[in-house]
Amino acid sequence: MSLQAIIVGSSHAGANVAYNLRKDGFNGKIDLFTKEKIFPYHRPPLSKDFLKNLTPIDKLFFKPEKFYAENQINIHTQSEVHSINPENKYINVSDSQFSYDSLVLATGSSPRKLNLVNSEADNILYLRDISDAKKIKTYIEAVEHITLIGGGYIGLEVAAAIIESGKMVTILELEDRILKRVTNEEISNFYHNYHSKKGVDIRCGTGLETIQLEGNKMISVRLTNNETLKTDCLIVGIGAIPNVDLAEAAGIKCNNGIVVDQFCRTSNPHVLAAGDCTFHFNTLLQKNLRLESVPNALAQSKVVSSSILGNDLEYSDFPWFWSDQYDLKLQMAGLSHGFDECFIYGDLNNANFIACYGKNDTLISVDSVNSSKGFMLFKKALSNGHRISMSLIKDKSFSPENIFSGTS
């Protein structure tokens, strides 16, 4: 009898589980269920080129529709999975049931919402999927002043896209500097100054106190410093929450995400999980993590496919991310949490540098701007477990090319 694999979620993790299963030789039936109206697509351009009308919708799709028919991957659009019956191994979708041998939860995450009166106004927006991006793009074209809540990487990407469209942009960041959780003060100041020079009004140490409406539209906000800010639209980027409701209701262990081991297996032997929704063990870092990144989703999709096929591919990828803002190409590898020093290799003033974060004189992560070659060398070294001393990096004769030459 043919095996049945069901995937819930169609973003990078879910779609790539389906692709990898076929590539790896899975001959059973594959059904993918998604609440989306369209076939699987790339998410990163939504906060960048899509908003600037540089990437049309047809360029976002992972694969043409005929690919799914040719590879016998059944995509069920506008199909929300309401519950899982783990004892009898089936899911409930509307009034239908679908049985599985292996179930993959790639349910992603949802935007953290504002917890204020009137925060459901029509022009208070969030960015997670194509429908969100379309709505934001409509506002960019129609209004003059847009305010972003949160100065993280996604917020900065959206700010760059909007300011390049000729509109006024304000960023409200509750912390005393942008990107405080992920970088040091010097790098925060670099991004702050770069955006400010482009015309973005960044206000740190400032949050929302109240929202004023006219009808069902926000017309102004009162800030924590008692100032009233008139603005045409709010875009909120204050983090994301893993979508674990399905898993929790089915009795699957969750803790800051769906808990999986290094093989992406959940507490239920027939259920696996991948992507933003997972809280997973990273063997390289020897700790549990929840990562919201495309590279993590792609890596876990390979592990899930391997596990379903009975192989033992272990998740061991080193965390890395990227961001594009204006003419800046940002690349980050590793996690800087707990760093006790940061050394800038390169030229900060000319936006061509690598920030090297160290702990106990050992490199733990790097952030690079327009320095892809050096970044890839550092990333390769960190991923392979090389110990690189901060003292070596700070030596005037150091070059990233030395890392694999035996001189490091």
Average pLDDT over residues 347-353: 95
CA atoms within 13 A on the CB side of 116: 19
pLDDT, tens only, 102-146: 999 999 999 999 999 999 999 999 999 999 999 999 999 999 999
> Which residue has 């936006």 as its token pair?
351
Average pLDDT over residues 299-317: 95
| pLDDT of 389 above 90 | yes
pLDDT, averaged across the chain? 95
Are the beta carbons of 390 and 362 closer than 8 angstroms? yes
Domain with CATH 3.50.50.60 in the chain: 4-110+240-308, 113-236
CATH topology of domain 113-236: FAD/NAD(P)-binding domain (3.50.50)
Q: Report the pLDDT value the prediction gives residue 403, as an integer from 0 to 100.
A: 85
Domain with CATH 3.30.390.30 in the chain: 327-404
Considering the domain delimited by 4-110+240-308, tell me its CATH architecture. Answer: 3-Layer(bba) Sandwich (3.50)
The encoded tokens of residue 214 equal 């006219």
pLDDT, tens only, 219-252: 999 999 999 999 999 999 999 999 999 999 999 9
For domain 327-404, say whether CATH 3.30.390.30 is its number: yes
> Which residue has 């090319």 as its token pair?
401
Q: Report the pLDDT value the prediction gives residue 118, as an integer from 0 to 100.
A: 97
pLDDT, tens only, 255-302: 999 999 999 999 999 999 999 999 998 888 888 999 999 999 999 999
Distance of alpha carbon 86 from alpha carbon 90, whole angstroms: 7
pLDDT band at 406 (very low <50, low <70, confident <90, very high): low
pLDDT, tens only, 53-82: 999 999 999 999 999 999 999 999 999 999
> Which residue has 């998604």 as its token pair?
34
| pLDDT of 51 above 70 | yes
| pLDDT of 407 above 60 | no
Q: Report the pLDDT value the prediction gives residue 340, as an integer from 0 to 100.
A: 95
| pLDDT of 349 above 50 | yes
Distance of alpha carbon 378 from alpha carbon 376, whole angstroms: 5
| pTM over the 0.85 mark | yes
Average pLDDT over residues 329-355: 95
